[in-house]
């Protein structure tokens, strides 16, 4: 998956608080540092400071990221990464530093990232949670977070950090562990996904069409077939080297594929329940 941190409303608020120095002595990063990161992310037009009125650091970051959340999430994620790296570089995560951001601000941001299956470490380093180390409800939450990001088109690769599985494969395997206690490691993807659908009482293309059945069953069959087709589009040559999709897949098709994977994974996780 793209090595970019997530972006949502909670992260916008928490990150804006992280750089806020209006209630204390001025600390780095300075406005010039924030402007550099905004420009680097391609979000200068969304910067509230361009209005000509004085804008504090917190309002500046919040305004820019809020615009990006609605209009250009990829650029927003890039800005999140740049801002945290800048704060880290100035010692904002070290208690003994004059630029320390404060325990509450750091804890709030860490909590917001954790809910999106990312970990903000004590030293300010940011990384995705290793999914292979999670299980049960914690893995359900992590997969759901990835599925929601995929539905927004926020991921440019189907592979999940810490596993060679793509989003649908990891979700199907998790469903079977939760419902049946395990899953066959050697099964091909259509079989694995089909078993997950069956375990949840969902219909696949292997289930005969019944007279008078609901349109929902047709949707479930289509979701299963689409999931199998999306998996076939993935570039199976390695786990993170080169383009994650087959060479014939266009950018718009890749975007559709990621969003569709998110929708199907969400269907499985919602049906599984908490």
Question: Above pLDDT 90, what percent of the chain?
Answer: 66
Is-above-0.85 flag for pTM?
Answer: no
C-alpha 72/C-alpha 77 separation (Å) is 9
Domain boundary among 128, 156, 185: 128
Residue 149: pLDDT band (50, 70, 90) is confident
Q: What is the pLDDT of residue 255?
A: 86
Q: What is the pLDDT of residue 237?
A: 53
C-alpha 46/C-alpha 51 separation (Å) is 10
Helices (H), the chain: 9-19, 31-40, 57-71, 73-89, 103-114, 136-151, 167-180, 189-199, 215-233, 251-272
pLDDT in tens, 2-47: 568 899 999 999 999 999 988 777 899 999 999 999 999 999 999 9
Residue 164 belongs to a domain: yes
> Pick the residue with more confidence: 73 or 83?
83
- Cα 238–Cα 138–Cα 101 angle in degrees, nearest 5: 90
Residue range(s) defining the domain that contains residue 65 = 9-128
pLDDT in tens, 51-60: 888 899 999 9
Q: What is the pLDDT of residue 131?
A: 82
Domain boundary among 128, 146, 180: 128
Residue 1: pLDDT band (50, 70, 90) is very low
For residue 105, give Cα distances in angstroms to 63, 112, 118, 206, 271: 18, 11, 17, 52, 36
* Mean pLDDT value across the chain: 90
Angle in degrees, 0-180, between the axes of helices 167-180 and 136-151, rounded to the nearest 10: 150
Q: Are residues 95 and 111 in the same domain?
A: yes
What residues are paired with 234 via a beta bridge?
245
Q: Are residues 114 and 49 in the same domain?
A: yes
C-alpha 15/C-alpha 1 separation (Å) is 23
Q: Are residues 56 and 91 in the same domain?
A: yes
Residue 1 belongs to a domain: no
Residue 200 belongs to a domain: yes
Total number of domains in the chain: 2
Domain boundary among 93, 128, 163: 128
């Amino acid at each position: 998956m793209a090595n970019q941190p997530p972006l949502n409303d909670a992260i916008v608020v928490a990150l804006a608080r992280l750089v806020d120095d209006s209630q204390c002595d001025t600390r780095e990063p300075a406005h010039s540092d924030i402007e550099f990161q905004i420009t680097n992310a391609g979000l200068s037009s969304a910067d509230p400071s361009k209005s000509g009125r004085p804008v504090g650091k917190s309002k500046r970051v919040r305004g820019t990221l809020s615009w990006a959340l609605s209009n250009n999430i990829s650029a927003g994620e890039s800005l999140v990464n740049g801002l945290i790296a800048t704060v880290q570089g100035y010692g904002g995560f070290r208690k003994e530093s004059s630029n320390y951001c404060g325990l509450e601000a750091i804890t709030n941001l860490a909590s917001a990232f954790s809910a999106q299956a990312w970990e903000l470490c004590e030293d300010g380093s940011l990384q995705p949670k290793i999914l292979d180390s999670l299980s049960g409800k914690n893995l359900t939450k992590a997969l759901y977070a990835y599925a929601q990001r995929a539905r927004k088109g926020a991921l440019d690769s189907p592979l999940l950090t810490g596993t060679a599985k793509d989003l649908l494969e990891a979700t199907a395997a998790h469903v079977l562990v939760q419902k049946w206690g395990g899953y066959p490691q050697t099964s091909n993807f259509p079989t694995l996904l089909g078993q997950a659908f069956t375990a949840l009482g969902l219909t696949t293309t292997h289930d005969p069409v019944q007279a008078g059945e609901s349109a929902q069953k047709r949707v479930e069959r289509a979701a299963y077939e689409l999931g199998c087709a999306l998996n076939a589009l993935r570039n199976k040559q390695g786990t993170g080297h080169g383009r994650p999709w087959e060479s014939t897949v266009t950018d718009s098709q890749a975007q559709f594929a990621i969003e569709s994977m998110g929708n199907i994974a969400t269907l499985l996780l919602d049906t599984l329940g908490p």
